[in-house]
């Protein structure tokens, strides 16, 4: 079961309304208009509404209303597992899967389940997919959220969002809605970056995350997976032993995996016999699984656009080229 979690509050609208009324209240004060004149009355009303808006805004931000900011939506009931991931699944991830399915052999030897893992690697290499597939393998509910959604410009709100996320996962287990829950925080660096003396906002959300992790103790029913492209940015406190100390690198696919990924995404599509996936796999060195998936789809669009009933080798090569050009450009910029 897949739950994606979004922040639904139209914060920018609240912000503008707030700013407008505060502006009007100040102008009312600064103009010192005759209170009985029309301008005076309008400004006085605006000032009252402005104050109410300000109090409403502050109260809803700092008291219970933020509880509703993180909302799960159940949008994917189909089971997604490691069968959907092409290429090698890291042994550490397989160990976690095995531990969560059958903990006895691990417990017999005295092992404890880590509180979570970090999947690190370039964009599009399948980090989110692996996390989702792990949840599918162990039949857990998947609580997926982006670190940028948890993060907030308000000091207390980021921490509240983190707490709410963990509470939701624990409640789902304790209410019997599911046996296990996987919390997935994509772009975890948005809340888990190295702490800086001048940034209390990040600190607060990160401190809450650390507290939540420390509160896990022997609770093996909730497991955290973080994903990042910027592992070097993560705070040492998050990565310290007995918290989320296993950083598992999900690298770009090798030639064999690229061929398998191309073939996997080609499977439901109509391809001409002239397509040589091994040649395409060799040509696509440096591209991610996501790139390869997109290339196959773009080739299908191109084939139909050119009035063909099958996808041919040249369609794929045409679509491969812009990806290779971008890769080349990136390499030159980095050099």
Ligand X SMILES: Nc1ncnc2c1ncn2[C@@H]1O[C@H](COP(=O)(O)OP(=O)(O)OP(=O)(O)O)[C@@H](O)[C@H]1O
- Which residues contribute to the site for ligand X (CB under 6 A)? 85-87, 123-129, 186, 227, 229, 261, 289-290, 293
CB under 5 to 8 A by kind: which of Mg ion, ligand X, none does 87 bind?
Answer: ligand X
Name the residue nearer to ligand X (CB basis): 114 or 124. 124
Spatial separation of the C-alpha atoms in residues 19 and 13, rounded to whole Å: 10
Q: Least Å distance between CB 167 and Mg ion?
A: 24
Q: Least Å distance between CB 290 and ligand X?
A: 3
Q: Least Å distance between CB 325 and Mg ion?
A: 24
Spatial separation of the C-alpha atoms in residues 18 and 86, rounded to whole Å: 50
Name the residue nearer to Mg ion (CB basis): 137 or 203. 137
CA 157 from centre of chain = 18
Q: Least Å distance between CB 4 and Mg ion?
A: 12
Q: Least Å distance between CB 288 and ligand X?
A: 6
Query: In the 8-state DSSP scheme, what is residue 193?
Result: B
Query: In the 8-state DSSP scheme, what is residue 232?
Result: G
CB atoms < 10 A from the CB of 14, how many?
Answer: 15
Name the residue nearer to Mg ion (CB basis): 148 or 199. 148
Name the residue nearer to Mg ion (CB basis): 127 or 160. 127
Spatial separation of the C-alpha atoms in residues 308 and 98, rounded to whole Å: 47
Residues 6+ apart with CB under 8 A from 150: 70, 158, 161, 162, 165, 185, 190, 191, 205
- Residue 223 β-bridge partners: 182
Q: Least Å distance between CB 94 and ligand X?
A: 15
Spatial separation of the C-alpha atoms in residues 61 and 89, rounded to whole Å: 42
Spatial separation of the C-alpha atoms in residues 61 and 52, rounded to whole Å: 14
Residues of span 25-64 touching Mg ion by CB under 5 A = none
CA 169, 171, 172, 173 torsion-angle sign: positive
By CB atoms closer than 10 A (0-12, 13-18, 19+), residue 250 is: buried
CB under 5 to 8 A by kind: which of Mg ion, ligand X, none does 290 bind?
Answer: ligand X
Binding mask 80-119 for Mg ion (x = CB under 5 A): ----------------------------------------
Q: Which of 128, 207, 272, 308 binds Mg ion (CB under 5 A)?
A: 128
- Of the candidate spans 14-22, 73-81, 184-192, 314-322, the one that interacts with Mg ion by CB under 5 A turns out to be 184-192
CB under 5 to 8 A by kind: which of Mg ion, ligand X, none does 229 bind?
Answer: ligand X
With both helix axes pointing from N to C terminus, report the angle between 289-305 and 255-266 in degrees, rounded to the nearest 10.
40
Q: Least Å distance between CB 225 and ligand X?
A: 11
In the complex, residue closest to ligand X by CB: 289
Residues of span 157-176 touching Mg ion by CB under 5 A = none
Contact residues: Mg ion, CB under 5 A:
127-128, 186
């Amino acid at each position: 079961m897949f739950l994606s979690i979004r922040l639904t509050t139209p914060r920018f609208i609240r912000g503008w309304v707030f700013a407008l009324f505060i502006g009007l209240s100040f102008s009312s004060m600064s103009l010192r208009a005759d209170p009985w004149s029309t301008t005076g009355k309008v400004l006085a009303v605006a000032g009252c509404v402005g104050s109410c808006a300000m109090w409403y805004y502050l109260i809803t931000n700092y008291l219970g209303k933020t509880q509703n900011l993180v909302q799960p939506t159940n949008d994917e009931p189909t089971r997604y597992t490691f069968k959907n991931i092409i290429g090698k699944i890291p042994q550490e991830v397989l160990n976690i899967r095995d531990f969560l399915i059958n903990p006895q052999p691990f417990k017999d030897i005295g092992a404890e389940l880590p509180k979570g893992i970090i999947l690190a690697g370039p964009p599009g290499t399948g980090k989110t997919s692996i996390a989702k597939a792990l949840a599918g393998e162990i039949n857990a509910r998947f609580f997926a959220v982006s670190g940028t959604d948890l993060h907030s410009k308000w000091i207390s709100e980021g921490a509240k969002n983190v707490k709410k996320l963990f509470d939701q996962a624990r409640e789902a287990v304790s209410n019997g809605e599911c046996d296990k829950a996987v919390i997935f925080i994509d772009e975890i660096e948005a809340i888990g970056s190295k702490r800086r003396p001048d940034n209390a906002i990040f600190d607060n959300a990160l401190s809450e995350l650390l507290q939540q992790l420390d509160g896990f103790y022997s609770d093996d029913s909730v497991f955290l997976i973080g994903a990042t492209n910027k592992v070097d940015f993560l705070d040492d406190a998050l990565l310290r032993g007995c918290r989320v100390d296993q950083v598992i690198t999900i690298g770009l696919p090798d030639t064999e995996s690229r061929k398998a990924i191309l073939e996997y995404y080609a499977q439901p599509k109509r391809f001409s016999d002239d397509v040589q996936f091994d040649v395409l796999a060799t040509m696509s060195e440096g591209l991610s699984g996501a790139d390869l998936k997109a290339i196959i789809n773009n080739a299908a669009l191109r084939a139909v656009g050119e009035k063909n009933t099958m996808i041919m080798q040249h369609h794929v090569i045409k679509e491969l080229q812009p990806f290779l050009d971008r890769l080349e450009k990136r390499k030159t910029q980095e050099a």
